[in-house]
Structure 1
Amino acid sequence: MIHNTVLDLIGNTPIVRLRNLAVDNGSEILVKLEATNPGRSIKDRSALYMVEQAEREGRLLPAGTIIESTSGNLGKALALIGAVRGYRVILVVDPKVPASVLQFVKALGAEIEMVTAPDSSGGFQGPRIERVKSMCGENQDFFWPDQYNNPNNPIAHAISTAAEIKRGAGKIDALVSTVSTGGHISGISRALKDACPSLTTVAVDAFGSSTFGHAFSTYRMRGLGLAWKPENLDYSVIDCVHLVTDIEGIATSRLLARHEGIFVGESAGAAVFGALHYAHSHPGQRIVVVAADDGVNYLSESFDESWLRAHELAAVLDLPEYRDFKSLVAAALKPTCEPAEIGDILSVR
């Protein structure tokens, strides 16, 4: 098949069954591999939909400028779209963004605006957004997708990602997805629950994230977690929340590569760890995990032993429960943080 542009390749990502990182009780974990999108992540879907809606509404004109705050994947997606459709793309980033991401977007012609001063909690998300607001104030023609609050973000996943899961996996019992902007978990869960109200949706977040009202603390994993609740996150379509530690998530991503040949990022590792825990207590259920991106962004970090030791994450390498897939599956039975029902979390906020 011949496609008109590389953007036509967005979507229709494969679903793969885990063979080794699995619980031997008749449960089944299926992983939707969003890294096969041309920008290498699930953000390709929401980025394209948000841009196309802005084009239709006249908020993004030909040869216009797109600006966004990003820690990686949305920036890659917007840079790709800009290269194909002739838009100027400005990405507001911070020093934590991997060098490979910066190289990727620069190769596609995107411009980088670096924020170097963190907020009082040590985070960069707030300062990045403030820089975007300031630049948009000075340039009224800039289009800011605003991935955290743009309703077209979850709509994109309700339309495409959820439909593909229904078509590819058939009837499923549980959806496990990480929370970042709130876009993909909200959109996918809402659409799947419309078709199957008995579906259980497990939101996996970083231990240290404040998305669900927990006290904020630093964490190393990327692609999940925030210091606030994004507007796109719909609590009503989430059943329980599992906070996963850096060690649990990173160890799982590394073992997925070594024992399944599935090379995914840290957030996907966290989601699979959450799915393994869920599988232990739900025999015979079919569980779909959304793997948001691939491992290329993390080659010099969480896949690098020297980096892990330098950042006090040597337990990923040294503790017996994280050395092989059988030990990891067993460790998922008793995770660092037990999942909590969303109702219980909201009742104490």
Structure 2
Amino acid sequence: MINDSVLDTIGRTPVVRLNRIRVDNGSEILLKLESRNPAGSVKDRTALSMVLEAERDGRLKPGGTIIESSSGNTGKGLALIGAARGYRVILVTDPKAPASMVEYVSAFGAELEIVKEPDETGYQRPRLNRVHELLAATPGAFWPNQYDNPANPKIHAEQTAYEILDDVGQFDALVAAVGTGGHISGLAETLKKKLPDMVTVGVDAKGSRAFGFPYETWLMRGLGIAWKPENLQTELVDRVHLVADHEGIAASRLLARREGLLVGESAGAAVFGALHHAHDNPGSRIVAVAPDDGGNYLGESYDDEWLRAHGLGDAVAALATTELLVAAAKDPAWPSMTLEQVSRLVTSG
């Protein structure tokens, strides 16, 4: 097959069965590998959807400028798309952005604005403030606004969900990480119509405020947020599983060593959540989404020295075998909860 553009290669990512990291009760975990997109993540779909929508309604003109806040995959996707379609791309990020991300987007010609002063919840809000300053100074610039842009969940409702249905058919549960809320909401919107009994499990970082819990810091990338994103349709989420840093990171490391799958930390969190769901639902067929590639994290969560420096060395080492990880998923730090249970906990403080 000859594609007219690299952007035509976005989508149609494979689904892989986990063979060695599993619960031995007749359950099955299937992992959709979004790292097979050209810029390495599920955000390629999101970025292209937002850009195409803006082109159609005139918010983004030929040769225009795209300005977005990102410390990772959305920035990579936008940098690739900008190069392929002739747009100037300005990415607002912070000193914690991985060097691999900075080098990647720079290779495509994207410009970087570094926000150096965090607020009480980190860098996300200060980065957005800088985006607004740049928009005011750049007439005609387009802000994708990945947290609130309906083109984000739309692409997953119209494309990604149908890929899963084509490849998998019937299954019992969807497990997906919560970041912008885009892929979990879009997938659940379509899949629940086609599979009414399917359970949606939202995996989030312990400390994220997406579902209203008190804010705390966390280390995993690719999930967690300091506020509730507009794209997150909580009514489509049946259960919420808060995953601790050591649980998600240990799972991602084992996916590389036991399954040959080099994936990011949010994929590890999703698999850990899937294992927990499998323990409670023998014989179930579970689809989990692996949002990105693990190459972004080789100098961080895949590095033993980095783990020790961040106080995670012992906790991750304690889950360093398949047997230990699977056992930990049966009794995790924070078991999954229904939305009603989440509401009661949030209300009670």
What TM-score do you get using the length of structure 2 for normalisation?
0.98
- Find the residue that maps to 1:288 and give its secondary structure: strand
Conservation of the 8 A alpha-carbon contact between 1:90 and 1:113: yes
Aligned residue identity for 1:339: S
Aligned residue identity for 2:208: S
1:84-112: CA deviation from partner (whole Å, max 9, x where unpaired): 00100000001111000000000011000
- Find the residue that maps to 2:139 and give its secondary structure: coil
Distance 1:196 1:217 in 2: 35
Distance 1:49 1:144 in 2: 13
What is the match of residue 46 of structure 2?
Answer: 46
Aligned residue identity for 1:52: L
Conservation of the 8 A alpha-carbon contact between 1:300 and 1:307: yes
2:327 maps to 1:330: yes
1:3-43: CA deviation from partner (whole Å, max 9, x where unpaired): 11111100000000000110011100000000000010000
1:315 is displaced (CA, Å) by 2.0
Count of aligned residue pairs for this structure pair: 346
What is the match of residue 138 of structure 1?
Answer: 137
Give runs of aligned pairs for residues 196-215 of structure 1, distance below 5 A. 196-215=195-214
Aligned residue identity for 1:323: A
What is the match of residue 15 of structure 1?
Answer: 15
Distance 2:208 2:314 in 1: 21
Distance 2:316 2:54 in 1: 46
- Find the residue that maps to 1:332 and give its secondary structure: helix
Shift of the 253–111 alpha-carbon distance from structure 1 to 2, 3 Å rule, reads: same
Distance 2:163 2:102 in 1: 31
Structure 1 residues without counterparts, runs of 5 or longer: none
Conservation of the 8 A alpha-carbon contact between 2:31 and 2:287: yes
1:101-154: CA deviation from partner (whole Å, max 9, x where unpaired): 000000011000000100123x10000111101111222311000000001100
Give runs of aligned pairs for residues 84-99 of structure 1, distance below 5 A. 84-99=84-99
2:340 maps to 1:340: no
1:256-299: CA deviation from partner (whole Å, max 9, x where unpaired): 00000011000000000000000001111110000000100000
1:49-105: CA deviation from partner (whole Å, max 9, x where unpaired): 110010011110000000100120000000000010010000000111100000000
Conservation of the 8 A alpha-carbon contact between 2:246 and 2:316: no
1:317 is displaced (CA, Å) by 4.4
1:332 is displaced (CA, Å) by 0.6
What is the match of residue 154 of structure 2?
Answer: 155
Distance 2:341 2:311 in 1: 33
What is the match of residue 254 of structure 2?
Answer: 255
1:210 is displaced (CA, Å) by 1.1
Distance 2:242 2:19 in 1: 24
Deviates more, 1:89-98 or 1:136-145: 136-145
Distance 1:20 1:330 in 2: 14
What is the match of residue 81 of structure 2?
Answer: 81
Give runs of aligned pairs for residues 297-308 of structure 1, distance below 5 A. 297-308=296-307
Give runs of aligned pairs for residues 1-349 of structure 1, distance below 5 A. 1-121=1-121, 123-319=122-318, 322-347=319-344, 348-349=346-347
Structure 2 residues without counterparts, runs of 5 or longer: none
Distance 2:314 2:212 in 1: 28
Aligned residue identity for 2:148: N
Distance 2:132 2:197 in 1: 41
Distance 1:277 1:345 in 2: 17
Conservation of the 8 A alpha-carbon contact between 1:240 and 1:342: yes
Distance 1:168 1:94 in 2: 38
Distance 2:317 2:44 in 1: 36
What TM-score do you get using the length of structure 1 for normalisation?
0.98
Aligned residue identity for 1:284: G
Conservation of the 8 A alpha-carbon contact between 1:250 and 1:316: no
Q: Aligned-residue CA RMSD in angstroms?
A: 0.9
Distance 2:169 2:208 in 1: 33
Aligned residue identity for 2:343: L
Shift of the 234–317 alpha-carbon distance from structure 1 to 2, 3 Å rule, reads: closer
Aligned residue identity for 1:33: L
Distance 1:284 1:167 in 2: 21
1:316 is displaced (CA, Å) by 4.2
Conservation of the 8 A alpha-carbon contact between 1:79 and 1:108: yes
1:304-330: CA deviation from partner (whole Å, max 9, x where unpaired): 1111111111124432xx121111111
